[in-house]
Structure 1
Amino acid sequence: MSERKNITINYYRLEAAEEVFYHDLDDRLTTLADGGMDFGFFDGRSKELMFKIFDPIEISDRKLHFVSLIKEKQFLPVWFNREGDIEEAPLEGGMLGDISYGLIDPMLQCVIMFSGGFGPGASGFADFARWLTDDQSAGCTPIFINNAYDQVTQWEVYRKLNISIEAPALDFVDNVLDSEYGSNFEMLNTLKGLKIDLAVSMGHTKGSLDKDLVRKFIKKVLEENFAGKLKVAGKNFDEQSTEEHDLYSAKLKHKTEIVVSGMHISPEEAKSSLFEAYQINLEQIESAVADFEEE
C-alpha cells in the first residue's frame, strides 16, 4: 500500500583542489555505467559501502548522474508473525542495508540528496567521489541561502558553539559515534539516549575558542549532517558586538512530499523527487558555484 512521506532534500557543493576533478568524476561515472560496471563496493571512512549507478538524466549540455549508496545495517530486524513466532530475518545469501540516493552534477559541482535517514550521508558521497577519482582533496559542503557560512568561518573570535543532536533510533546513534567527532557525543551510548545538547563557550572570560579547530569542527559536522542545530556565536574582533548564526537554518533545502509504494523509497521515486528539487533551486546552485569560483 502506498504511503505519503514528508522529506527534506539538501544541497551540497562538491569541492576539490583541482578543476580536473569534476571532469574525472563525470567521465568515470559514465565509464562505469556504460561499461556494465554500474555497481560495486568501496571502503568509506568507517565502513564498506556499496554503490549502484542508475541511468542518468540527460539535459541539454550535460548528464546528471543518479547514484545510490548502501551500508550494511548494524542492528538487524527480526521476522515475526501473529502466531507469536520470532525468527532472524531471512537474508538468503545477501545482507540488509540502509540506502541513500544522490543526484550528482559535475558541471555545477553539486550533489543533491535526501536529508536524514539511516543511509550514508554527504560524507559517504564525499568518500565515493574520493575513491572514484583518487582525489583525496574532494569533499562536500552545504549550499547556503545567504552568506551565513562565509561570515561564520571568517570570524576571528568565537565565543560559543552549541550543537544539538536528536537521533530517531539507536541505528542513527552509531552514525554519530562513527563520525570524526563522534567521541564528543559518547554519552549517547553510555546512557542509551537519543538526544544530546552540547555547548562550549568562553563563559564570562574574554578571548576566543580555538578558531582553526572551530572552523574544522563546523565543516565536518555540516558534512556529516547528523545535527539538528549548530549555533555559533562570534565576531570579527574583540570590540565588536557578538553575532549568532544557526547554520542549519541557513542551509539551502527543499521540503516536499513523496509517495512511497514499498518498504523503502524506490530509485524511480527518489530520482523524480531529486530532479524536481534540482530544477526548483537551480539558480541558487548556479549562484553558489559562481561565488565559489570567485573566491
Structure 2
Amino acid sequence: MVIESPDAFLRLDNVVKTYGSYVALRNVSVSVGKGQAVALIGPSGSGKSTLLRCINILETIASGTIRMGEEEIGATTHGTVRRIHNAKVLARQREHIGMVFQSFNLFPHMTALENVTSGPRLVLRQPEVTARKRGMALLERVGLADKAGSYPRQLSGGQQQRIAIARALAMDPKIMLFDEPTSALDPETVQEVLNVIREVRDSGMTMLIATHEMEFARHASDRTIFMEAGQIVEQGPSSKVLFTPETERCQRFLAGLSGAPTPAIYGNEGNFS
C-alpha cells in the first residue's frame, strides 16, 4: 500500500526489478512529498540500494513506473507497452537526481574542487569561472573550503563523503539519494556527514536515505520505510516505525540491532545533537 504524501514529488508504482530469475524489487510503491526526507531500512539484500539505483536510472526496471513531478523517469509507459528513453533523455533526467554512494566515488586524480566542478563544467557546460565560484561556495557549505586543492587520498573518509555531497549538490538536483552514506566511516567522522545531510534536509531538499544505522534514520528522516526481500513491509513516521513498529518482522529486525533507537537515546524528535 502506498502512503500518499501531500504535494507528492516522487512516486513509484508497482516497480519490479529482476536479475534473471531473481526478483530484487517486487511491486514496490512509494510516494514522497516535496521536501520530505525518507529513510530506507532493512537487512542487507532487502532492496534498498537497488531501489535508489532504479530511481537514478542506473538500473532498468522490468515493470511499473517511476515519476518525478509529472515526468516518467527512465521510460514512457502506455498500458503494457514500456519504451526506454534514449540516451539523451536519460542523461537529462539523471542531471536532476543527485546520488551519494557508500564508497564516495571521487575521482582520485582530481582535487576536491575539481571533483565538485567536473559535472557542471562537463555536463552542464558551465564556464569554468562560474563552476569554480559555485564549487568553492559548496565546499564552504560543507566546511571544506580549505581542502579545495587536496586530493582524495589526502582526506579522511568523512571529508571525502562531504565532498561527494558537495559534488552532487553542484548539479542543482531536484532530489538527493544517499546510499549508506555513513557505513564506510569511523564513528568520529559520522557526525560530520550527518550534520551536512541535516543542512541539506533543512534547505528543503527531497531526500531518500538507505541506511543500516537506526540512529541516523531517526534523526535524518521524516518517514521510514522498512524493506525485506525486495518488498515494503512497513512504513510511516520515523518516530513510530523505529520506536513502535506494527509488524512482527520489523520488531524482530530492530530488536536484533545493538543501535536500535530508544527514547532515552534521542530525546526530542528532530534533534541532531
TM-score range, shorter chain: 0.3 to 0.5
Q: Between Structure 1 and Structure 2, which shows a larger proportion of helix residues? A: 2
The structure in which a higher percent of residues are strand is: 1
Return the index of the structure with the highest Cα Rg.
1
Relative to the length of structure 2, the TM-score reads 0.33
TM-score by length of 1: 0.31
